[in-house]
Structure 1
Amino acid sequence: MKKKNVCILKLLLILITMLSVILTYIPISSAVSTKIIDIVEITDLHGYLYNTVKMQDGSTLKQQIGAILANEIKKIKNSNPNTIILAAGDMFQGTPVSNILKGKPVIDMMKNIGFDAMTIGNHEYDWGIDAVIDIKRKTLKNSNIPVLGANIYDKNTKKIVDYCQPYIVINKGNIKIGIIGVVDNKEFPNIILPAYIKNVEFKDPVFIVNNLARKLRSEGVKIIIVLAHMGGYMNNNVLTGNIAEFAKNVKGVDIILGGHTHSIVNTKVNGIPVCVANCQGKGYIRIKLKLENGIPKILSQDYVDITPLFNISNPPIDKEVLEIIEKADKQVGQQFSKVIGTAVADITREQRAKPYGDSALGNWAADAIREFAHTDFAFTNNGGLRIDLKKGPITLGDIYQLMPFDNTIVILKMKGSQIKTILEEAVQDNGKGIQVSGLTFKYDMKKPSMNRVYDMKMSNGTPIEMDKVYTVATNNFMATGGDGFKGFTDPSVAKTYTDTYKLLRDVFIEKIQKQKELKPSLERRIFSSDEISSSLHEYLNESMLIMK
């Protein structure tokens, strides 16, 4: 009996030994293959923590965009601890609450949700790079969220700029995941204020990413994600744009997440998922994957539209993020009383020709646009200027009343003949008039509609040539045909459309702070033939009296 027990014990020991040997040689990738990784991306939030909209019944609704978005992302994170949350840039500039507080409430929201990284966008430069980035730590201010930009180099040091990291490596479910951040080297040099990037070189990201991918693979990284502030568009199910060219040439990466173009992209290029998550918190990209034999396998990739939640009563929201937004709202309310300049006299919207003319406030506003955009001419619409600036202190709140819309400045290229079309539309039957900078013109209301404008001149008196191409700045409302200005939608004009994403309101504030004292402009720019005839008649009468 004892011998039999000994034999059984020996047999058990042998089996245990064999099992331990077998387990030792099971590949690590097989052990983690059941771990599902969730990847969530948003991009181009542009400060849209909330938005106030007018409903069909005339009532207003405050869309709790940030709190709804936070709730959706947290649900994913709570259901899967192996979740990565990413942002592809342009997160802060664009709304009053974020602009005034220099992105702080957006950063607070990102911290609360638990973002893992953000690639820098072109609009992160708008207030100066140190406004939202802790340069020493290369993170968003007052956070541990890394700021990425592997192809942004300092011309002097020949190294990556001191405010970005090229990549990070994080561990989820015992899987090493590399995230490489890059920006659009073709777009960035032309759309950022030159003063902010005078010592910066935006290098070709393909070569850099290919090298970093090899490096990360050699260090045991199993999944490589490119987080790019670079975008594209889907045309007939075909991806076009700079991100498409990038995806065709990059090697060794598993996922490409983009931004910048405010578009929805959810496709594959050479088998690689390539996605862009729209803008302004309207939705997010969600990719689920796992490792099989050490190779990433995409289980699903989706764009999730959350806009249906915006207009319902009692939408599902995250209370912590809502509290962050409401706190920011209160801070902004206090700042509205801040004095930013002084008007030495009333600066009004009263037009100095009938039925259409320039105004002191219109001239000032159009000049501000042209000075910012450095264009030949600038236009703004009368309806966009909502109040007069009264003599005395000008507060921040006054400017938010003057320009309550989040209109941005757009730059276009137009022939003189196309500019004439815009002016004709301003003085046509039932036209809305226009405010101009850089030019003067006359119109004759006795002539047929769309054939009234004449004697168009630049401010220096040079005639505007019909076949010559000029640069024009206006707001994105007019540039897309608002107030009847359909001339801007001419295909040859529309293709030159470049949105600076700089709010008119911010330009007005900066101009007032620089000027300190505002004086009404007495310069005339728009003349009606009726007033010219009247002035000539008065002059001739006076001359006749003198001769007598």
Structure 2
Amino acid sequence: MKKTFLLLAACLLPAVLPAETVTVYHTSDVHGFFYPREGRGGFGALAAVIKDGPEDYLLLDSGDFSNGTVETRNSKGLKAVQLMNKMGYHAATVGNHEFDFKDKGVAPILGAAEFPILAANFYDKSTGKYPAHVAPYKFFEVDDVKVAVIGLANRVPTNPAKSYSYGKPLKALEKALKEVEAQKADVVLVIVHDSLKDEKHGTQSYVGDIGRKFAGRVHVVMGGHAHQIFQNEYINGVLFVESGCYLDNVSKITIETDDETGKVVSAKSELIPLIVEKTGEDEDMKEYADSLREPGVDVSVGEAAETLSKFPVKEGVQDAPLNVWIADLLKAYSGAQIAIHNNGGTRVDMKQGPVTRRDLIEIHPFDNTVTLVEVDGKFLKKFVKTGFAPRSLFTYSGLEVTYKLNKKGKVKDVELFVDGKPVENRKKYVIATNSYIAGGGSEGFLFKKIPAENKKLAGETTIRDLMEEGLKQGPLSAPETGRIHQR
């Protein structure tokens, strides 16, 4: 009698339909970091985390996968794609560093990918259509949920895109959205190589506008480029996620949909640090990654007596020890009055202990040489002031920069001094910087206004070669900082 009553009561209760769950793993700005560093990161750890999760999932990347280490540099990005193929990535978009090997290096990278390259705003300049192996979006079935992934490429390539052009990202997204909506997507994801809050590059980002303009149509935006971490940031219900860089972490995004209506009920994210001691490593993936190692680069070329940070270490000071050392190397090599080093060119810290060629490549993976540029004081003042975004994007040698902060914490009243004397508007100054910045690349855009006759190569030696020579002077100690300071 009791069992019969319980059965009847259960039948009278309203049916609760289970929600379908879509699991997405996200990486960005891997930059060829295949292996753990100090016990963290690497594809072996990533594979272990994914293997421990649900069987049905998506693995997506927001670009800048093809350069940043000796393996990617020497293979022109192809080893990165090989490893991503092995890892089973479902899609990726185009970052600015996919152009590190210039136009001719882009097509082989795109063609080698066994996963779709998605970039709704990226075109072949000669045809006006999407390049070979590129599409605006792709559909996936994940646990019976129809998921559309749309990609948006970064529009400021590291080398001029002579064969490619870029459209306005929000306009391209609108077009792609109409198409995926017509095909009845349940979930819409966007992978983009730009950041929600980009302090690194000093540029105004449009990424937040995706939440402001397309709420209810886009459910999750996965960004990158600025090497920042964002979890569970929402704009009008749209989830924004960024996963950092160098494969130190992976984001796990969980999206629940109503089983009856198919509509998204919730979306949340979790950052999983790839600490090998906790995650373990998938042996098959680890073995494959190890097979791609470049020989001869794990040899010591010097020693750091202490760790040199790429970030400021003193309060009220905006220059960092490692960047100061590099700026001083540029000045000493070139004989210029002033040297300018872009902080974004320093990718990782120099750790205490033996320093290998691999370490130097990871610190500065670019083959930039040194360029001398003659400018007047007026330009120099504008350049330095523009470089606060809000932190200084540059480090200087031979130049002292002082500033005040307003009530909102923003930089004001910037003053410049050379040899203790104020910089004069009409006076000429010879500065040394790397060839990328001198050419007007990224945050060095103001150099585009300097005539070519005011620029000349200081020599064929790369900045990385200067670093190796500098290490021969004996164990390296952190230089004093304070060249950019609050007064």
Q: TM-score, normalised by structure 2?
A: 0.59
Say whether 1:332 aligns with 2:295: yes
Q: Select the residue among 177, 188, 191 that pairs with 2:147.
A: 177
Amino acid corresponding to residue 304 of structure 1 in structure 2: L
1:212, distance to aligned residue in structure 2 (A): 2.0
Q: Select the residue among 108, 125, 130 that pairs with 1:160.
A: 130
5 Å matches for 1:245-394?
Answer: 245-250=209-214, 252-266=217-231, 267-292=233-258, 293-306=260-273, 309=275, 312=277, 316-329=280-293, 331-333=294-296, 378=339
Match of residue 503 from structure 1: none
Which whole-Å CA distance do the structure 2 matches of 1:322 and 1:414 have between them? Answer: 49
Q: Which moved more, 1:254-263 or 1:108-117?
A: 108-117
Amino acid corresponding to residue 106 of structure 1 in structure 2: A
Which whole-Å CA distance do the structure 1 matches of 2:383 and 2:206 have between them? Answer: 33
Amino acid corresponding to residue 46 of structure 2 in structure 1: L
1:290, distance to aligned residue in structure 2 (A): 2.8
Q: Is the 8 A contact 1:256 1:272 kept in 2?
A: yes
Task: Name the larger-Rg structure.
Answer: 1
1:147, distance to aligned residue in structure 2 (A): 0.8
1:274-308: CA deviation from partner (whole Å, max 9, x where unpaired): 1111111121222112321334335452241415x
Q: Select the residue among 52, 70, 85 that pairs with 2:59.
A: 85
Q: Identify if the C-alpha distance between structure 1 residues 322 and 420 changes in structure 2 by more than 3 Å, giving closer, same or farther.
A: closer
Q: Identify if the C-alpha distance between structure 1 residues 199 and 250 changes in structure 2 by more than 3 Å, giving closer, same or farther.
A: farther
Q: Is the 8 A contact 1:417 1:466 kept in 2?
A: no
1:168-202: CA deviation from partner (whole Å, max 9, x where unpaired): 11122232211111124xxx24x4312xx124331
Which whole-Å CA distance do the structure 1 matches of 2:83 and 2:359 have between them? Answer: 29
Amino acid corresponding to residue 433 of structure 2 in structure 1: A
Which whole-Å CA distance do the structure 1 matches of 2:230 and 2:431 have between them? Answer: 31
State the aligned residue count: 352
1:455, distance to aligned residue in structure 2 (A): 13
1:416, distance to aligned residue in structure 2 (A): 9.5
SS at match of 1:233: coil
1:423, distance to aligned residue in structure 2 (A): 1.4
SS at match of 2:175: helix
Which whole-Å CA distance do the structure 2 matches of 1:211 and 1:250 have between them? Answer: 12
Q: Is the 8 A contact 1:97 1:332 kept in 2?
A: no
Q: Which moved more, 1:247-256 or 1:316-325?
A: 247-256
5 Å matches for 1:164-243?
Answer: 164-184=134-154, 188-189=155-156, 191-194=157-160, 197-233=161-197, 241-243=205-207
Match of residue 414 from structure 1: 380
Match of residue 110 from structure 1: 84
SS at match of 2:207: helix
Unaligned stretches of 5+ in structure 1? 1-29, 53-60, 337-360, 371-375, 382-398, 426-449, 457-463, 480-494, 499-507, 514-548
Say whether 1:71 aligns with 2:48: yes
5 Å matches for 1:23-38?
Answer: 34-38=19-23
1:501-530: CA deviation from partner (whole Å, max 9, x where unpaired): xxxxxxx9x9579xxxxxxxxxxxxxxxxx
Match of residue 97 from structure 1: 71
Which whole-Å CA distance do the structure 1 matches of 2:121 and 2:418 have between them? Answer: 52
Which whole-Å CA distance do the structure 1 matches of 2:270 and 2:428 have between them? Answer: 44
SS at match of 2:251: strand
Match of residue 41 from structure 1: 26
Q: Identify if the C-alpha distance between structure 1 residues 421 and 94 changes in structure 2 by more than 3 Å, giving closer, same or farther.
A: closer
Q: Is the 8 A contact 2:298 2:358 kept in 1?
A: no
Which whole-Å CA distance do the structure 2 matches of 1:253 and 1:496 have between them? Answer: 30
Match of residue 433 from structure 2: 473
1:103, distance to aligned residue in structure 2 (A): 2.8
1:205-242: CA deviation from partner (whole Å, max 9, x where unpaired): 2222222222222223221111111112289xxxx833
Match of residue 19 from structure 1: none
Which whole-Å CA distance do the structure 2 matches of 1:417 and 1:257 have between them? Answer: 32
SS at match of 1:415: helix
Q: Is the 8 A contact 2:339 2:397 kept in 1?
A: no
Q: Is the 8 A contact 2:35 2:42 kept in 1?
A: yes
Q: Identify if the C-alpha distance between structure 1 residues 420 and 249 changes in structure 2 by more than 3 Å, giving closer, same or farther.
A: closer
Q: Identify if the C-alpha distance between structure 1 residues 326 and 199 changes in structure 2 by more than 3 Å, giving closer, same or farther.
A: closer
Match of residue 35 from structure 2: 50
Q: Is the 8 A contact 2:219 2:239 kept in 1?
A: yes
Higher helix proportion = 1
Amino acid corresponding to residue 71 of structure 2 in structure 1: V
Unaligned stretches of 5+ in structure 2? 1-14, 300-328, 343-355, 374-378, 385-393, 401-416, 446-456, 463-487
1:118-173: CA deviation from partner (whole Å, max 9, x where unpaired): 111111111135546558xx55x1x4211111111234322223342111111222
Q: TM-score, normalised by structure 1?
A: 0.53
Supply the RMSD in Å over aligned alpha carbons.
4.7
Match of residue 5 from structure 1: none
SS at match of 2:397: helix
Where relative contact order (Cα < 8 A, 6+ residues apart) is larger, the structure is 2
Match of residue 517 from structure 1: none
Q: Is the 8 A contact 1:377 1:471 kept in 2?
A: yes
Q: Identify if the C-alpha distance between structure 1 residues 151 and 365 changes in structure 2 by more than 3 Å, giving closer, same or farther.
A: farther
Q: Is the 8 A contact 1:423 1:453 kept in 2?
A: no
Q: Identify if the C-alpha distance between structure 1 residues 131 and 268 changes in structure 2 by more than 3 Å, giving closer, same or farther.
A: same
Q: Is the 8 A contact 1:47 1:95 kept in 2?
A: yes
Amino acid corresponding to residue 279 of structure 1 in structure 2: C
Which whole-Å CA distance do the structure 2 matches of 1:160 and 1:451 have between them? Answer: 50
Q: Is the 8 A contact 1:149 1:182 kept in 2?
A: yes
Q: Identify if the C-alpha distance between structure 1 residues 51 and 291 changes in structure 2 by more than 3 Å, giving closer, same or farther.
A: closer
Q: Is the 8 A contact 2:44 2:283 kept in 1?
A: yes
